[in-house]
Amino acid sequence: MLSIAGTDPSGGAGVQADLKTFSALGAYGMTVITALVAQTTTGVTGIHEVPAAFVAEQLDTLLTDVPADAVKIGMLGDAELIKVVAGAIDTYRPPYVVLDPVMVAKSGDRLLPADAVAELRRTLLPRADLITPNLPEAADLLGEEPAASLAEMHAQAGRLRALGARQVLLKGGHLNGDTSVDVLATPEGTIELSAPRVHTRNTHGTGCTLSSAIAALRPRHDDWAGAVRAAKDYLTGALRAADGLRVGHGHGPVHHFHAIW
């Protein structure tokens, strides 16, 4: 499994979370770093972008030696990086590509400049097998207000597929209620996937964790719905155990290894 993403020194999000998730689910993890991020559970203080040419060198050096069974794409800081990753997908043709359109950190810090959103929409969405936006990210991609109901989520998921994504998992965690409902839109139709809402402030890296879990599990399932259900079950367990970690003073991480220790 390959994660193409930025770092998180606190270990809760980014490539660190992706590697933990891959390992917890029995997958061999690899990484290509797109940005070095000064980040904790309380916020982002700085981002040092890796030059696009060096990201391309990382991808070419790795993938000519070790093919990836699935690729998870996270933080991409600018349009040039987006073009480089799209080119690598075209060249190496990984079986499954999961795109988590990381735009805003849990703390509210913007991670993807507004002028790169159009490039993401134009270049990467059509190359992704599954995209996993939350409600604000979906609204950003569509140029609309965030969905405020399940009916609006269904409609927005359909419009995101119309932009070129083959499958869309629109995450409903920003809505209220005791149940968190996501909408999965595929060529066969749209289904709702529910999980009990876990009441914890330790939600740092949930998007990274879910998307990397889907990437790790997709090769073992017959379809996307099965992989997503299994990934949601894993994330629910990680959230339930999160309060036991006591990491940081802000939004702490989920417990990626909840089934192990």
> What own/partner pairs with CB < 8 Å and gap ≥ 24 does 54-62 have?
55/4, 55/81, 55/84, 55/85, 56/84, 56/87, 56/88, 58/32, 58/33, 59/4, 59/32, 59/84, 59/85, 59/88, 59/92, 60/88, 62/2, 62/30, 62/32
From the candidates 21, 132, 206, 209, give the one annotated as an active-site residue.
206
Q: Which two tokens stand for residue 33?
A: 């770093």
Place of tokens 């990984």: 94
From the candidates 208, 209, 232, 252, give the one annotated as an active-site residue.
208
Q: Is 206 a catalytic residue?
A: yes
Q: Is 205 a catalytic residue?
A: yes
Q: Is 200 a catalytic residue?
A: no
Q: Is 208 a catalytic residue?
A: yes
From the candidates 20, 203, 209, 252, give the one annotated as an active-site residue.
203
How far apart are alpha carbons 17 and 179 in whole angstroms? 24
Q: Is 171 a catalytic residue?
A: yes
From the candidates 6, 29, 77, 207, give the one annotated as an active-site residue.
207
Q: Is 232 a catalytic residue?
A: no
From the candidates 14, 77, 205, 252, give the one annotated as an active-site residue.
205
From the candidates 20, 72, 106, 171, give the one annotated as an active-site residue.
171
Residues marked as catalytic? 171, 203, 205-208
